[in-house]
Amino acid sequence: MSVPTEEARPHRGPMGGFRLGSVWGFEIRIDYSWFVIAFLIFWSLTAGVFPYRLPDQPPATYSIMGLAGTILFFVSLLAHELSHSLVARTRGVEIAGITLFVFGGMAHTRGEADNPEDELAIAGVGPLSSLVIAIGFWIFAWMGGRAGWPAPVTVVAEYLALLNLILALFNTLPGFPLDGGRLFRAAVWRQTGDLTLATRWATQGGKALGYALIALGMLQVLMGAVIGGLWLVLIGWFLRTTAAMSFEQHMLSGALGALRAVQVMTRDPSTVRPDISMTDFVEGRLLREPHQGFPVVDGGRVLGLITLHHARSTPRERWGGTTVAEAMVPARDLIVTPESTLTDVLETMSGSGSNRVLVMDGTRLVGVISASDVSRWLQKERLIGGVAPGGPGAGVGGP
């Protein structure tokens, strides 16, 4: 059985799937793709691994062993991600949550480590935690054998020790976004002082590792190990794709951090009063002007934002009796300053669930920024070779 691999940090934006709960203040979510790998692991343990390691047991015993092994393996993955999250928290890196998905787990962070030492600590604790978990399962199995515990218990513990050892070793490979790739990036960063150069080298290693796994998987398929080979191909493809995306995301973070809201905003936006009906807003403003969102202003005081989405969310038959003030989103969750970075702008959009923010200089409204404004600006900067991904000046200390 191939071992699912781990994370694509950093990640911004909403996490998919459904909420499972919270551990030490970290939200735990399960992506719907997790059910695929959970079933495959359960089936592999029940139909192959445990019958081979412990023959002549009733089918119900193998099912119980497979269920226990599957649950405890994902608990191990969760513990691995929690170790990253706890160390990241102590180093000042905010954790949005943890998601279990088809290739393992992701610890979603808002931003990256400020220095290579923090990066070394955050990345290094992952393989170390998996190694400690492996030793713990091995000790448990050894104690069970000495105490005469039922064989299914010790066999499950022994195999989980092996899986966590493999997970620890695999994650030390020097390919981003594996922990080994992040350790390699931290080492290059500390040596050169150039985070972008270090990220480029580490992500190149991740792509090379991905291609190697794809080639190994195809070789296994040709030799008859179809399921294991296809799984290696999928893992290799995931690593290669994630490595490429990680470098683009790093460059994009540099671009967003370099741009300020004042550079992207639409100045002197068209506003609406809070007391007009939704009918007057839609027919008199929304359909007659090119904008899809309008700040709501009353006597110079900014109250909120009304958009096409709010009009569509209000039943048409209620437009006449609903005012803009009743349908708008309050301004307090949408405010950025002219000097806010585009990273801050996008995080405000994400946190508010809105695709627009209000740019306020004190109590004065000076502009509006939409998600499409950010996208258009970055596209123009990319085309002219500015600060967007791939252009000179992007990121931190380009190579």
Active-site residue list: 81
Both tokens assigned to 252: 């994009």
Cα 65 from Cα 156, distance rounded (Å): 7
3-state SS assignment for residue 219: helix
Q: How far is CA 86 from CA 55, 104, 110, 136, 364, in A?
A: 41, 18, 14, 20, 40
H or E element, residue 303: strand 301-307
Exposed/middle/buried for residue 378 (C-beta within 10 Å: 0-12, 13-18, 19+): buried
Cα 231 from Cα 37, distance rounded (Å): 10
Q: 269, 294 in Cβ contact below 8 A?
A: yes
Contacts of 157 (CB under 8 A, 6+ apart): 137, 138, 140, 141, 144
3-state SS assignment for residue 266: strand
Q: Is the peptide bond before 150 cis (omega within 30 degrees of 0)?
A: no
Cα 251 from Cα 256, distance rounded (Å): 9
Which amino acid appears at position 276 of this protein?
Answer: I
Which amino acid appears at position 296 of this protein?
Answer: V
The CB-side HSE value for 196 (13 A sphere, CA atoms) comes to 17
Q: 343, 318 in Cβ contact below 8 A?
A: no
Q: Name the nearest CA neighbour of 158 among 42, 45, 37, 6.
A: 45
